[in-house]
């Protein structure tokens, strides 16, 4: 009987040990993340982009000061339908999600709505470089001719969230049929990020889903060349330096030269004359 009692005692200790282990042990693989981010963008014909982003936060550790980053130029920002205070840090606009998570662990759905003004604009100054370098312009004539009738959509999609993103998907709706292929850049993969996307273009819609999880602090930006006809009200004027200074300088130089030659009045020259006295 003594042996049986000892076995029961050992079994009870083992049971207590495993119960305590289950209650207090956190798996090493548990990590806070955004388990899913869904991005819906509608690009208007005036070049503005309306964005709705749904983020599912999975927090394994309490973080009362957690902030979610949005694009630097984001406007009219709301979180779950309400206006929120924001702060600008570097090239990001930060929104505190503490009032949603309450500094607790668990899963929390958050929806951000905002506007990116002037997301469509002139193609960056590559053409200006071609114009200033005739040799390079000649070798790139075909490429520059293709860009003359194009604008560029620049869309910051992710701005470097503190935690990894398990799954990222997006739907972008354009005003008209998309006839080009977008380019994606990432802080980690640079131009190779497209290989991590299951991308599809159907009519005026661009859809994509990440194949592998994204890293923490990873930013993603999409650019797309679009025809000018799709955005008739978007201005393409690009000011570089002060081009008016050259004709102004020429005009002022010509005016000064004209004044020196024809309009300047020389000071009178005084001449001394000797007049002899009367009677001599």
| pLDDT (0 to 100) of residue 254 | 78
| pLDDT (0 to 100) of residue 24 | 46
Q: Exposure of 134 by Cβ count < 10 A (0-12 exposed, 13-18 middle, 19+ buried)?
A: exposed
| Cβ atoms 71, 39 nearer than 8 A | no
| pLDDT (0 to 100) of residue 271 | 63
Residues 6+ positions from 205 with CB-CB distance below 8 Å: 171, 172, 173, 174, 178
Helices (H), the chain: 2-24, 98-101, 126-132, 134-139, 141-147, 245-258
Question: Residue 42 and residue 21: Cα distance in Å, rounded?
Answer: 50
The confidence band for 25, taking pLDDT boundaries of 50, 70 and 90, is very low
List the helix and strand counts (H, then E) for the chain. Answer: 6, 15
The confidence band for 266, taking pLDDT boundaries of 50, 70 and 90, is low
> What would the mean pLDDT of 112-126 be, rounded to a whole number?
89
* pLDDT at 128 exceeding the cut of 50: no
Render pLDDT for 181-234 as a digit per residue (tens, 0 to 9): 999 999 987 778 899 999 999 999 999 999 999 999 999 999 999 999 999 988
> What would the mean pLDDT of 246-273 be, rounded to a whole number?
69
């Amino acid at each position: 009987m003594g042996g049986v009692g000892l076995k029961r005692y050992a079994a009870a200790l083992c049971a207590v040990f495993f119960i305590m282990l289950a209650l207090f042990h956190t798996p090493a693989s548990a990590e806070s993340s955004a388990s899913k981010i869904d991005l819906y963008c509608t690009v208007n014909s005036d070049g503005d982009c309306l964005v709705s982003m749904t983020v599912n936060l999975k927090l394994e550790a309490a973080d009362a000061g957690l902030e979610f980053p949005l694009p630097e130029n984001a406007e009219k920002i709301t979180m779950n339908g309400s206006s929120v205070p924001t702060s600008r840090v570097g090239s990001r606009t930060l929104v505190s999600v503490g009032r949603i998570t309450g500094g607790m662990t668990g899963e929390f759905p958050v929806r951000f709505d905002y506007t990116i003004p002037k997301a469509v604009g002139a193609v960056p100054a590559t053409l200006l470089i071609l114009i200033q370098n005739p040799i390079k312009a000649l070798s790139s004539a075909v490429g520059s001719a293709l860009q003359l009738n194009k604008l560029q959509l620049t869309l910051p999609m992710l701005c470097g969230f503190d935690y990894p993103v398990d799954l990222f998907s997006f739907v972008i709706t354009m005003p008209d049929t998309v006839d080009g292929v977008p380019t994606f850049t990432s802080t980690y993969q640079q131009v190779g990020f497209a290989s991590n996307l299951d991308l599809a273009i159907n009519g005026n819609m661009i859809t994509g889903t990440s194949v592998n999880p994204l890293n923490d602090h990873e930013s993603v930006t999409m650019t797309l060349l679009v025809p000018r006809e799709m955005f008739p009200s978007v201005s393409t004027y690009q000011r570089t330096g002060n081009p008016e200074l050259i004709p102004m300088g020429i005009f002022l130089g010509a005016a000064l030269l004209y004044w020196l030659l024809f309009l300047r009045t020389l000071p009178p020259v005084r001449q001394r004359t000797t007049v002899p006295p009367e009677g001599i």
